[in-house]
């Protein structure tokens, strides 16, 4: 017996910020849109999860104001559920706290003079080298040395990068630096000074990081309020959002080069949705593996080369009114790389004399951190004690949140594989793969939403031209 087929004009795969915002743009334009999302609630990585009496983010998620149009739209949708918060982040480095983004004056104050001079000389040498003999770094290690010099690479980046990604920087692509690694504004100051005496900066460019005086937006229930409001607006405009709907097949017609249907699993049954356009925000290799008929073997082989770094987030309810000074602190040499305290951004915590800590770790699926083994927890709790954040006896609840695809992993040589996947997708005229997972890139929420808006505009243009 064949399954009943429902219809939509645009099928959106994945209901994170990118997919939801694409649905927002399309539903506002009166297009019938259906979002299929395998999560229990909208928002993807950027939602919060209710455990016990509290909300826990998958890593503290705060909205930046950089995209004014999206920001204004979000403020209008969220109304008084949005709380403006001054960025207050720190980096724990060599026994001191530094403001994030790292400032030149803090660096001068905090680092022992001999180390500072050594690092500055290294940076100076790196600048002269790339100024005289421009070179193309072969991997992330070379790109970091080119950007910061050998001593600063050894002092600040090498071990941290290795521990964070689980692979040595020499095995990471140089693209990682230009796409993910935030620029050190302190180093920019030195580079500008060198520029004034004629030593040009010809190194690769890292990413602009957050601004020191930036205002972020949060809510009393954490990250979940924003996707909840977008989803509500989409449904109010006639769109459909189906949660707990895992996309299992992307059915396309090789003769016409078009997606015709999407199959998904929902409430114990398989369903089929016919569509005119498809915007996918699910991990790009997963999309290829679900294509029917399957792409050619070399494309499937390329898909198996595209990997993500999983994350395990430890959400802790702590019997203390406050644990850290600020919104979050980055750590270089602990079992975690960032600890956030969302209560300091307005999260309501129950009971009120307790607080919530969001402890972020990268891991592998099934390893001790992923499984939260007693040893892994012990290491995390011991490091929290060493950093005077809280004592293990104060931790009254521990909730583990996972994402198998937390970070795109830019391992050495991934680029041609990704290009192969993207060319196959480009061969299907009504299919787009965008967002953090679908584009295999590192947007913040506002940039992911902008990607969704652009994909929606492209689909809209084709639909109205047809
Ligand atoms: C630890 C951490 C902290 C962060 N903090 C911030 C921050 O403070 N501010 C900020 O702006 N950004 C932050 N980000 C980035 C932010 O998470 C991303 O920009 C955003 O989530 C990207 O949205 P997306 O829709 O592209 O992807 P995702 O949020 O990953 O959404 C993808 C969606 O696809 C769905 N999906 C996957 N497979 C299937 C399938 N087969 N069928 C159906 N659905 C499927 C998933 O359920 C998910 O909902 C942070 C990221 C991390 C990892």
User: pLDDT tens, 284-303?
Assistant: 999 999 999 999 999 999 99
Q: What is the pLDDT of residue 418?
A: 98
59 in ligand 1 pocket by Cβ < 6 Å? Answer: yes
CATH for 5-47+69-75+218-306+410-465, options being 3.40.50.720, 3.50.50.60, 3.40.50.2000, 3.40.50.150: 3.50.50.60
Contact present, 452 and 279 (Cβ < 8 Å): yes
pLDDT above 90: percentage of residues in the chain: 70
Helices assigned H by DSSP within 79-184: 104-110, 113-132, 140-148, 150-152, 158-165, 175-179
Q: Distance of CA 310 to CAs 86, 246, 328, 369, Å?
A: 29, 19, 21, 10
Q: 58 CA to middle of ligand 1, Å? A: 9
335 in ligand 1 pocket by Cβ < 6 Å? Answer: no
Q: What is the pLDDT of residue 254?
A: 96
Q: What is the pLDDT of residue 214?
A: 79
Overall average pLDDT of the 258-263 stretch = 98
- Residue indicated by tokens 């660096």: 107
User: pLDDT tens, 105-134?
Assistant: 666 666 778 887 888 888 778 777 777 777
Q: Which tokens sit at 134?
A: 């421009």
Closest residue by Cα to atom 6, ligand 1, is: 61
Question: How far is the C-alpha of 266 from the C-alpha of 142, rounded, in Å?
Answer: 47
Q: 369 CA to middle of ligand 1, Å? A: 21
**Residues 6+ positions from 37 with CB-CB distance below 8 Å:** 14, 15, 16, 19, 44, 241, 242, 243, 244, 245
Higher pLDDT among residues 212 and 442, named by residue = 442
Question: How far is the C-alpha of 18 from the C-alpha of 450, rounded, in Å?
Answer: 7
Q: Which tokens sit at 444?
A: 């913040």
Q: 81 CA to middle of ligand 1, Å? A: 21
Residue 221 per-residue DSSP state: T
Which atom of ligand 1 has the smallest separation from the CA of 58?
Answer: 1
Closest residue by Cα to atom 48, ligand 1, is: 44
Q: Which tokens sit at 386?
A: 């060493």
Which atom of ligand 1 has the smallest separation from the CA of 59?
Answer: 1
358 in ligand 1 pocket by Cβ < 6 Å? Answer: no
Q: Quick one: which of 148, 142, 138 has its CA closest to 201? A: 148
Question: How far is the C-alpha of 349 from the C-alpha of 59, rounded, in Å?
Answer: 16
Q: 19 CA to middle of ligand 1, Å? A: 10
Q: 127 CA to middle of ligand 1, Å? A: 37
Q: 47 CA to middle of ligand 1, Å? A: 8
266 φ, ψ (degrees, to nearest 5):
-150, 130
17 in ligand 1 pocket by Cβ < 6 Å? Answer: yes
Q: 338 CA to middle of ligand 1, Å? A: 18
Q: 16 CA to middle of ligand 1, Å? A: 5
pLDDT band at 101 (very low <50, low <70, confident <90, very high): low
190 in ligand 1 pocket by Cβ < 6 Å? Answer: no
Q: Which of 187-191, 306-310, 347-351 has the least mean pLDDT? A: 187-191
Question: How far is the C-alpha of 361 from the C-alpha of 383, rounded, in Å?
Answer: 13
Q: 18 CA to middle of ligand 1, Å? A: 8
Q: Distance of CA 133 to CAs 127, 170, 199, 280, 313, Å?
A: 10, 21, 12, 43, 44
Q: Which tokens sit at 64?
A: 């930046």
Q: How far is CA 167 from the centre of its chain?
A: 19
64 in ligand 1 pocket by Cβ < 6 Å? Answer: yes
Residue 294 per-residue DSSP state: P
Overall average pLDDT of the 83-93 stretch = 87
Q: 169 CA to middle of ligand 1, Å? A: 25
151 in ligand 1 pocket by Cβ < 6 Å? Answer: no
Q: 112 CA to middle of ligand 1, Å? A: 40
User: pLDDT tens, 24-52?
Assistant: 999 999 999 999 999 999 999 999 999 99
Question: How far is the C-alpha of 212 from the C-alpha of 321, rounded, in Å?
Answer: 26
Q: What is the pLDDT of residue 118?
A: 85
Q: State the pTM of this model.
A: 0.92
282 in ligand 1 pocket by Cβ < 6 Å? Answer: yes
Choice from 56, 74, 281 to test ligand 1 binding pocket (greatest atom count within 8 A of CB)? 281
Q: Which of 58-67, 72-81, 152-161, 220-229 has the least mean pLDDT? A: 152-161
Q: What is the pLDDT of residue 205?
A: 59
Q: What is the pLDDT of residue 1?
A: 43
Q: Quick one: which of 1, 13, 454 has its CA closest to 273? A: 13
Helices assigned H by DSSP within 313-373: 368-371
Task: Look at the alpha carbons of 18, 23, 28, 30 in this order and tell me if their dihedral is positive or negative.
Answer: positive
47 in ligand 1 pocket by Cβ < 6 Å? Answer: no
Overall average pLDDT of the 255-266 stretch = 98
Residue ranges of domains in the chain:
5-47+69-75+218-306+410-465, 102-196
pLDDT of residue 87 exceeding 80, the answer is: yes
Question: How far is the C-alpha of 327 from the C-alpha of 205, rounded, in Å?
Answer: 27
The CB-side HSE value for 452 (13 A sphere, CA atoms) comes to 32
pLDDT of residue 198 exceeding 70, the answer is: no
Q: What is the pLDDT of residue 242?
A: 98
281 in ligand 1 pocket by Cβ < 6 Å? Answer: yes
Higher pLDDT among residues 370 and 104, named by residue = 370
Q: Quick one: which of 103, 305, 292, 72 has its CA closest to 188? A: 103
pLDDT band at 444 (very low <50, low <70, confident <90, very high): very high
Q: Across the chain, what does the average pLDDT equal?
A: 90
287 in ligand 1 pocket by Cβ < 6 Å? Answer: no
User: pLDDT tens, 388-429?
Assistant: 999 999 999 999 999 999 999 999 999 999 999 999 999 999
End-to-end CA gap in the chain: 33
Which atom of ligand 1 has the smallest separation from the CA of 43?
Answer: 49
pLDDT band at 103 (very low <50, low <70, confident <90, very high): low
- Residue indicated by tokens 């399954």: 3
Contact present, 280 and 23 (Cβ < 8 Å): no
Judged by DSSP in three states, 437 sits in: helix
342 in ligand 1 pocket by Cβ < 6 Å? Answer: no
- Kind of pairing between the strands at 307-318 and 83-86: unpaired
166 φ, ψ (degrees, to nearest 5):
75, 5
Q: 14 CA to middle of ligand 1, Å? A: 9
**Residues 6+ positions from 382 with CB-CB distance below 8 Å:** 335, 392
Contact present, 305 and 40 (Cβ < 8 Å): no
315 in ligand 1 pocket by Cβ < 6 Å? Answer: no
Which atom of ligand 1 has the smallest separation from the CA of 406?
Answer: 53
188 in ligand 1 pocket by Cβ < 6 Å? Answer: no
């Amino acid at each position: 017996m064949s399954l009943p087929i429902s219809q939509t004009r645009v099928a959106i795969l994945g209901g994170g910020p990118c997919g939801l915002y694409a649905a927002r743009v399309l539903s506002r334009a009166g297009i019938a849109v259906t979002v299929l999302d395998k999560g229990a609630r909208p928002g993807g990585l950027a939602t919060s999860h209710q455990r016990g009496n509290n909300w826990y983010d998958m890593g503290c998620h705060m909205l930046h104001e950089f995209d004014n149009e999206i920001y204004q739209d979000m403020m209008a949708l969220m109304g008084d559920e949005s709380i403006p918060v001054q960025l207050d982040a720190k980096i724990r480095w060599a026994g001191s706290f530094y403001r994030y983004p790292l400032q030149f004056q803090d660096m001068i104050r905090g680092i022992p003079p001999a180390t500072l001079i050594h690092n500055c000389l290294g940076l100076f040498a790196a600048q002269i080298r790339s100024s005289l003999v421009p070179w193309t770094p072969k991997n992330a290690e070379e790109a970091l040395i080119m950007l910061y010099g050998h001593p600063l690479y050894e002092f600040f980046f090498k071990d941290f990068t290795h521990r964070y990604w689980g692979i040595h920087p020499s095995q990471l692509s140089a693209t990682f630096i230009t796409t993910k690694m935030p620029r050190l504004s302190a180093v920019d100051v030195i580079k500008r000074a060198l520029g004034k005496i004629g030593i040009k900066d010809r190194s690769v460019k890292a990413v602009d990081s957050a601004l020191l005086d930036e205002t972020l937006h949060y809510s009393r229930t954490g990250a979940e309020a924003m996707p909840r409001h977008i989803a509500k607006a989409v449904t109010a405009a006639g769109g459909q959002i189906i949660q707990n709907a895992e996309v299992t097949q992307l059915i396309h017609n090789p003769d016409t080069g078009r997606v015709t249907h999407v199959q998904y699993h929902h409430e114990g049954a398989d369903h089929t949705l016919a569509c005119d356009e498809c915007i996918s925000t699910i991990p790009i290799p997963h999309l290829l593996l679900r294509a029917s008929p399957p792409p050619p073997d070399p494309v499937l082989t390329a898909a198996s080369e595209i990997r993500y770094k999983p994350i395990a987030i430890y959400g802790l309810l702590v019997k203390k009114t406050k644990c850290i000074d600020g919104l979050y602190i980055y750590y270089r040499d602990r079992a975690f790389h960032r600890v956030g305290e969302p209560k300091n951004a307005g999260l309501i915590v129950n009971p009120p004399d307790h607080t919530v800590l969001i402890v972020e770790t990268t891991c592998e699926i099934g390893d001790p951190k992923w499984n939260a083994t007693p040893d892994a927890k012990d290491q995390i709790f011991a490091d929290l004690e060493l950093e005077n954040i809280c004592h293990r006896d104060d931790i009254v609840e521990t909730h583990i949140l996972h994402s198998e695809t937390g970070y795109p992993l830019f391992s050495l040589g991934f680029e041609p594989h990704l290009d192969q996947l993207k060319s196959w997708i480009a061969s299907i005229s009504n299919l787009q793969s965008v967002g953090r997972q679908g584009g295999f890139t590192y947007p913040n929420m506002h940039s992911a939403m902008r990607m969704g808006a652009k994909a929606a505009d492209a689909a809209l243009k084709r639909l109205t031209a047809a």
